Amino acid sequence: MPETITDPFADIDPFSAVTHPDPYPYYRELAATRPFFREQRLGLWIAAGSSEVAAVLAHPDCRVRPPAQPVPPALAGTAAGDLFGRLIRMNDGAAHAPLKALLMPMLAAVAPGVAAQKAAAMAQVLDAGEGAHVAMPAASVNRWLFALPVVTVAAVLGLPVARDHGTAVEVAQQVAAFAAAQSPLADADTVRAGAEAARWLGTWLASSLASSVAADGPLSALQHAAQAAGIDAQAVAANIIGLLVQACEATAGLAGNTLLWLGRNPSASGMPLQGVVARVAQDDPPVQNTRRFLAADTQLCGHAVKAGDTVLVLLAAASTSGLADDARAWTFGQGRHACPGDRLAQALAGATVAALCARGADPAALARAFRYRPSQNARIPHFL
Ligand code: HEM
């Protein structure tokens, strides 16, 4: 009988890897044997080797959006589309650079200890909505993962979320609704809810900026610097909302994956939490891939690629061979669009896990019953 060779990775592809129970052997294999290739079935180029991932992120013709489609078609023409179109995260235009130059130092100036203190204070605001429990139920853990990092970023920026439980919860829910609408998997209802959320957030931010932001806080300084640099006030407002949105899903994933790691490694419970978070960012990263769109025919990693082609950049595959150049975890990207919130995100994830454990969340129990939320790029556990 002929020997049958079974492909150990037959049940996994670069999209299903994101929510696969253990995609890392597959990513390692890709990085080692197929660091840059055309995936015919998905109609995409795949970058998996760390040098190839770095080369794609550094290439001037590799853009964060298809040049002819600055806003995803499902969002175009809605309030969510308007907001999306102003985000530096999704822009390679000249408008992106000056605003990013202001946001980077603002985020870098947030000391991790200050973020942790704010998170502890915001956890007390969220407490008001919880009943008395001995062990925190999974549904509450899921809610907190999506709420605490977001409202903490808002509080760090000086936005009025600390006054009452209702405002904090509403802001977190609206941010999550807008974030969810950006997924390629979003259905019509999710997109509609995202457009409503974008409108709500725009109104809330405008009234907050007009009345309740501290004159000596980071947002006043940002607004003044932006005005001096001739940056449109609407772009500034959109990007303030953008910071809350960026803090939402990925940080929920980092905190959730940290809970899983703690649950699976009970003997390491004495390890400093920030060390665990940094390790999880590298070994079980919340953002597993990002995309780039070719703006011109060119050569990329030794292959001829065409304008309009898409490259799926497997950050989590690059991660299997160590940290990125500047010693950051690959999950935070690299190059022109690298995440300016990486340190803040790790502080927020650590503070969120600490707040949950202090309220009786049990990592071992959580790790026994969860699934991953459906996603093509983010690995976020949903506890059952
Ligand atoms: C664990 C949490 C986070 C992860 C894994 C993460 C990851 C990333 C990645 C991969 C990118 C680049 C995307 C690309 O190149 O296509 C990015 C961009 C960005 N992130 Fe984060 N992020 C996180 C949290 C945050 C937080 C908390 C903030 C701010 C409060 C933030 C602000 C931004 C901004 C403004 C950009 C756009 C940068 C640009 O395009 O120039 N992120 N993030």
DSSP string, 125-167: HHHTT----SS--HHHHHHHHHHHHHHHHHHHHT-S-SS-HHH
Ligand 1: nearest atom to the Cα of 88:
40
**Shared domain check, 141 and 50:** no
Ligand 1: nearest atom to the Cα of 285:
5
Q: Give me the pLDDT at residue 67, please.
A: 86
Q: Decide if 36 is inside a domain.
A: yes
Closest-CA residue, ligand 1 atom 17, reads 339
Q: What three-state secondary structure class fits 47?
A: strand
The answer to whether the CB of 266 falls within 8 A of the CB of 364 is: yes
Closest-CA residue, ligand 1 atom 27, reads 247
Mutation probe of ligand 1 site: the residue of 62, 83, 222, 246 with most atoms within 8 A of C-beta: 246
The answer to whether the CB of 275 falls within 8 A of the CB of 265 is: no
**Shared domain check, 171 and 155:** yes
Q: Give me the pLDDT at residue 13, please.
A: 97
341 lines ligand 1 (CB under 6 A): yes
| Structure token pair of residue 165 | 């439980």
Q: Decide if 145 is inside a domain.
A: yes
* Distance in Å, CA 341 to ligand 1 centroid: 6
Q: What three-state secondary structure class fits 213?
A: coil
What gap in Å lies between CA 82 and CA 275, rounded to an integer? 39
- 31 membership: H or E segment, kind and range: helix 24-33
236 lines ligand 1 (CB under 6 A): no
**Shared domain check, 315 and 344:** no
Rounded to 5°, angle at Cα 81 from 79 and 82: 65
Ligand 1: nearest atom to the Cα of 244:
30
Pairing of strands 44-47, 310-313: parallel
83 lines ligand 1 (CB under 6 A): no
The answer to whether the CB of 307 falls within 8 A of the CB of 295 is: yes
Eight-state DSSP code of residue 287: B
**Shared domain check, 87 and 33:** no
198 lines ligand 1 (CB under 6 A): no
The answer to whether the CB of 253 falls within 8 A of the CB of 316 is: no
Q: Give me the pLDDT at residue 350, please.
A: 98
Q: Decide if 37 is inside a domain.
A: yes
Q: Decide if 282 is inside a domain.
A: no
Which of 332, 348, 366 represents a domain boundary (last residue)?
332
* Distance in Å, CA 331 to ligand 1 centroid: 9
**Domain count along the chain:** 2
**Shared domain check, 352 and 246:** yes
Q: Give me the pLDDT at residue 43, please.
A: 96
Q: Give me the pLDDT at residue 94, please.
A: 74
Closest-CA residue, ligand 1 atom 41, reads 337
Ligand 1: nearest atom to the Cα of 239:
35
The set of residues, in sequence order, having a beta carbon less than 8 Å from that of 7 and lying 6+ positions away, is none
Eight-state DSSP code of residue 6: P
* Distance in Å, CA 242 to ligand 1 centroid: 10
**Shared domain check, 126 and 35:** no
- By CB atoms closer than 10 A (0-12, 13-18, 19+), residue 304 is exposed
Helix 138-157 with 165-181: angle, nearest 10 deg: 100
**Shared domain check, 135 and 244:** yes
**Shared domain check, 198 and 156:** yes
**Shared domain check, 239 and 328:** no
Domain, as residue range, for 367: 68-277+338-383
**Shared domain check, 151 and 30:** no
- Which position has the token pair 């009988």? 1
**Shared domain check, 298 and 188:** no
Q: Decide if 168 is inside a domain.
A: yes
* Distance in Å, CA 135 to ligand 1 centroid: 32
**Shared domain check, 304 and 211:** no
The answer to whether the CB of 357 falls within 8 A of the CB of 120 is: no
Report CA dihedral (334, 237, 113, 170) to the nearest 10 degrees: -110
244 lines ligand 1 (CB under 6 A): no
Q: What three-state secondary structure class fits 49?
A: coil
Q: Decide if 302 is inside a domain.
A: yes
Q: Decide if 177 is inside a domain.
A: yes
Closest-CA residue, ligand 1 atom 6, reads 332
Residues of the chain with pLDDT under 70: 1-3, 95, 132
Picking from 153, 183, 182, the residue whose alpha carbon sits closest to that of residue 168 is 153
What gap in Å lies between CA 345 and CA 46, rounded to an integer? 27
* Distance in Å, CA 10 to ligand 1 centroid: 32
Q: Give me the pLDDT at residue 90, please.
A: 81
Report CA dihedral (118, 122, 123, 129) to the nearest 10 degrees: 180
324 lines ligand 1 (CB under 6 A): no
* Strand ranges (E), the chain: 36-39, 44-47, 62-63, 290-294, 298-300, 303-305, 310-313, 370-372, 381-383
CATH code where residue 96 lies: 1.10.630.10
- By CB atoms closer than 10 A (0-12, 13-18, 19+), residue 381 is buried
Q: Decide if 283 is inside a domain.
A: no
- 243 membership: H or E segment, kind and range: helix 233-246
Mutation probe of ligand 1 site: the residue of 277, 312, 339 with most atoms within 8 A of C-beta: 339
Picking from 346, 341, 334, 333, the residue whose alpha carbon sits closest to that of residue 280 is 346
* Distance in Å, CA 332 to ligand 1 centroid: 6
How many Cα atoms sit within 13 Å of 124 on the Cβ side? 8
Q: Give me the pLDDT at residue 2, please.
A: 61
Ligand 1: nearest atom to the Cα of 313:
16
Q: Give me the pLDDT at residue 96, please.
A: 77
Alpha helices for 158-248 (secondary structure H): 165-181, 188-211, 218-228, 233-246
What gap in Å lies between CA 272 and CA 152, rounded to an integer? 21
CA 144 to chain centre: 16
CATH code where residue 306 lies: 3.30.43.20
